[in-house]
Structure formats: structure tokens, C-alpha cells
Chains A and B, each alone.
Chain A
Amino acid sequence: MTLAIVLIVASVLALVLILTVSVSRALQVSSKGATGLQPVDVEAFRNLVDPTEDEYLRRRLLPAEFRAVRRQRLRAVAAYVRVAGANAATLVHIGQNALASSDTQTVEAARQLVNDALLLRRNATLVLMKIYVLLAWPNSALLATPVLHGYERMSGTAMLLGRLQHPSVPVRPAAHW
């Protein structure tokens, strides 16, 4: 009987979960709130994940102080990564809509954007998991560069897609990205 209850509860939860995901996705598709990208301070993010800064703080502070400061910095990194991940999700949405375009160049740029955004979202998830582990052991090293590099590449692709979809509007080239 216990097993039956467990399986029935599991099946009901699975059904609710699947219907919730489907309905929320449908509402998201029909909404126009897909363009809510938030700016990310990449330089501040770079400083936060810079190992030399960590090393400097480790030398200057007492171990207990260093752990407290490191945890605060990790929480700040997590906040940046969450925003980058949310932006990536928005761009997946935008890119998937652009995939329906009749122009092959736009479709190619959209596919590239979706791929880059998905990669960034994957990296953001992995880095967040790592950050949560590091919050418990703040003395370990952190590598968030995949997120940073992914974010920069994705930005370039988003710009290319924007140019292809609206060729009449001049867009400044981002040669240094």
C-alpha cells in the first residue's frame, strides 16, 4: 500500500509539474516580455573572479576575515551569474523566434545565438553549483571564466542577429569582443 501511495503521489506530482511547465511556457511565448535584458557589469564581474585579488585578500586578511569576505564576494559573483543566465534565457527565447525567419542569414545567426546562449546558461548553472559548494569551503579556487567568455561571445552573436534583422539601423561594430 505504501508503495502504491508513493507511486500515485509521484504520478500526480509529475502531471502537475508537466502541466505547469507547459502552461507557463505557453504564457511566456504569448507574452511580449521577452526583451527584458539586464545589463551586466562585466568588469566588476572580472574583478570578483580574479584569482590575484583573492590571493591579495588572503595575504592581507586573517583567515576568518578572509573567509567572510570571500563568501560575500562569492554571493556577489552568484548574483552576476544569475543575471547573465537570465539574459541567456531571454536570448534563447529571442533566437528561437528568429529561427522562423525566411532569411537564411538571419536563421543562421539566430541558431548561433541560441547555441551560444544555451552554452552560457549551461555554464552559468555549473558555476552557480560550484559557487554554492565554495560557499561551504571558501578557501578553494574559483573558475568562472567559461561564463565570462560565453557571455562575451553571445553578446557578439546577439548584435549580429540584430544587424541582420534590422539592416537599416546602424550598429557599432564590437571589434574587441
Chain B
Amino acid sequence: MNLLRAHSWLWHVLWLVPNVLIFMLGVLLWRRGLHKQYPAFTAFAILSATGQFIVYAADLSPLVSGDNFWRIYCANLVLEGLLKALLVAEIFAHTVGAFDSIARVGKTLIRGAGAILVLAATFAAAYSPGDSHVAIVSEAHLLEQSLFLMETGLLVFIFLFSAHFRLRMPRPVLGIALGLAISACVHLGGWAYIANVAPSEEIRHLIDYGKAAVYQGCILLWFYYLLIPQKEAAALAVPPPDHHNLEVWNQELERLLHS
């Protein structure tokens, strides 16, 4: 059970490995020139990992007091929140932005969804009992809960919106959205439990490890979708429309229109 403690080897591995991986992914995207296509994701990969390294160093350093650690932690959370907002905007732009006919209504709806989610997150934070007698610790955990609630809600909106219009996300964007959504849902559940139930230290670490493991899986998903060449022509693209069908349809409409 020593593994379920802070600063065990598993704790170090699960904190460091995902962030090393996502930093590497960011660098690889940059080197392959994909940062021009996915600037928000590249910035998220590099900056969120850098932020996590700083928080990790602050956790280990004897020079950083407990209060200062939590301040650094919260500042990093705010930075991650901003990066994720940009990332969600990038996913939305790649999915809907190219089609003028629904881009405007899509933007209006996602802004409305965002406003509702801010209210829901504020409401949830206001009614959460908190999990620590140290205010800044509770606040940090509630901030996590609020950010993941908004992120999950916005991603659900994008998935439902694109499904309603039968819009297909480009493969790399689908990978980014899917990884982000899985991670956000699992983190939301985890932080909701931690921030509201105040579990024992061991259970808390177990949840943290679970979240870190899922995040690591999501990073591998991003590697797959962003770096492994797609077999789009063979596997993804549906054969070109059967002209006979189109013509039959058009003939039918013509007949109906002019009969």
C-alpha cells in the first residue's frame, strides 16, 4: 500500500511520464509543421507539460512553502483552463468553421452553452462542501471541478452538434476531441468525488492515479491520431456518390416540381 502515497515511485511515474509524453508530442508536432494547422493543441501540449513540470518541481522543492505550492498549482490551473478554452475553440473551428451556413448559429449556440456551463460550474462550486480545512486546497480542487465541468460540457456540445448535422471531424481533430473528452469526463468524475466527499488520503491517491493513467492513455491516442499517417483514402473515405442514385433523386424531384 506504500504505492498509494505521495512521493512513491508510482506517484512520480504517473505525474512525470504523461507530461514528458505530451511535451514530446508538442515538439514533434512543431518539427513536422503541424503547429500551423493545430496551434492551440501544440501550445497546450508544450505549455501544459511545462506547467506541470513547474508544479512537480514546486512539490519536491523544500524552498516552496505549502501555501506557495498551492498558489503555483492554482496559477497553473488557470493557464491550463485558458489553453483548453483555446483548444475547444480550435476543435469547433475545424469541425464547423469551414461551413458558412451553420458557423454562425454554431457560434451562437456554443456561446450560450458556455454561459450555461459557467453558471452550472459556479452553482456546483458554491454548493460543494469542500474537502479540506485549508481554504486554498479546497478552492484548488473546486477550480479543477469547475474547469472540467465546463470542458466536458463544451465537448459534449461539439459532439452532439456535429452528430446532429452528420458533420465528420477531420481525423486528427477527432483524435484531439476524443482524447480531451475522455480525459475531461474521467477528471470531472474524479474531482467531483474528491472535492465533495473528502475521501481518505489513500482513496484520493488511487483516484489521482486512475486519472493520470487515463490521461496517459489519451496522450497515446493523440500520438496515434496526429502522428500515424491515416489510411483515409482506403479506410475512411466512402466511395464517391453513386451517380445513378443522385440522378434518380434529381429526376424524381424534377418530375415532382414540374408535374
Of residues 97 through 137 on chain A, the ones whose CB sits less than 8 Å from some CB of chain B are 97-98, 100-101, 111, 114-116, 118-119, 121-122, 125
Indicate if B192 sits at the interface (CB-CB under 8 A). yes
Docked pose: A125 CA to B161 CA in angstroms: 12
Q: Mark B111-151, 1 if CB is under 8 A from A, else 0.
A: 00000000000001001100000000000000001000100
Chain A residues with CB under 8 Å of B245's CB are: 35, 37
**Contact between B185 and A18, CB atoms less than 8 A apart:** yes
Q: Interface with A: B10-18, B35-43, B70-78, B233-241, which one?
A: B233-241
**Contact between B192 and A11, CB atoms less than 8 A apart:** yes
**Contact between A114 and B124, CB atoms less than 8 A apart:** no
User: Once A and B bind, how many residue pairs between them come within 8 Å at the CB atom?
Assistant: 178
**Contact between A22 and B250, CB atoms less than 8 A apart:** no
Chain A residues with CB under 8 Å of B98's CB are: 111
Indicate if A15 sits at the interface (CB-CB under 8 A). yes
Chain A residues with CB under 8 Å of B88's CB are: none
**Contact between A155 and B238, CB atoms less than 8 A apart:** no
**Contact between B249 and A12, CB atoms less than 8 A apart:** no
**Contact between A162 and B247, CB atoms less than 8 A apart:** yes
In the assembled complex, the CB of A139 is this many whole angstroms from the nearest CB of chain B, namely 29
Indicate if A177 sits at the interface (CB-CB under 8 A). yes
Question: CB < 8 Å: which of A87, A89, A115, A159 contacts B101?
Answer: A115
Q: Mark B78-101, 1 if CB is under 8 A from A, else 0.
A: 000000000000000000001111
**Contact between A4 and B192, CB atoms less than 8 A apart:** yes
Indicate if A3 sits at the interface (CB-CB under 8 A). yes
**Contact between B237 and A97, CB atoms less than 8 A apart:** yes
Given contacts A7-B145, A37-B249, contact A165 B241 (CB under 8 A): yes
**Contact between A22 and B247, CB atoms less than 8 A apart:** no
Docked pose: A105 CA to B159 CA in angstroms: 30
Question: CB < 8 Å: which of A8, A10, A22, A162 contacts B243?
Answer: A162
**Contact between B236 and A29, CB atoms less than 8 A apart:** yes
Docked pose: A22 CA to B149 CA in angstroms: 20
Of residues 72 through 102 on chain A, the ones whose CB sits less than 8 Å from some CB of chain B are 87, 89-90, 92-94, 96-98, 100-101
Given contacts A4-B192, A11-B188, A165-B243, contact A121 B254 (CB under 8 A): no
Given contacts A3-B124, A8-B192, A37-B249, contact A17 B243 (CB under 8 A): no
Question: CB < 8 Å: which of A8, A22, A32 contacts B189?
Answer: A8
Indicate if B64 sits at the interface (CB-CB under 8 A). no
**Contact between B238 and A93, CB atoms less than 8 A apart:** yes
**Contact between B254 and A174, CB atoms less than 8 A apart:** yes
Docked pose: A149 CA to B20 CA in angstroms: 54
In the assembled complex, the CB of B110 is this many whole angstroms from the nearest CB of chain A, namely 15
**Contact between B164 and A125, CB atoms less than 8 A apart:** yes
Chain A residues with CB under 8 Å of B228's CB are: none
**Contact between A17 and B159, CB atoms less than 8 A apart:** yes
Indicate if B1 sits at the interface (CB-CB under 8 A). no
Indicate if A34 sits at the interface (CB-CB under 8 A). yes
**Contact between A100 and B192, CB atoms less than 8 A apart:** no
Beyond A10-B188, A100-B232, 11 extra complex contacts between A and B, CB < 8 Å: A8-B192, A8-B193, A14-B152, A14-B181, A37-B246, A43-B256, A89-B166, A93-B238, A97-B239, A165-B243, A171-B247
Q: Which residues of A contact B (CB under 8 A)?
A: 1, 3-4, 7-8, 10-12, 14-15, 17-19, 21-22, 24-25, 28-32, 34-35, 37, 39-43, 87, 89-90, 92-94, 96-98, 100-101, 111, 114-116, 118-119, 121-122, 125, 152, 155, 158-159, 161-162, 165-166, 169, 171-172, 174, 176-177
Listed by A's residue number, 18 A-B pairs whose Cβ atoms lie within 8 Å are A1-B196, A4-B193, A7-B192, A12-B185, A14-B156, A15-B181, A18-B182, A37-B246, A41-B256, A42-B253, A92-B166, A93-B166, A101-B240, A111-B99, A119-B101, A121-B164, A165-B241, A169-B247
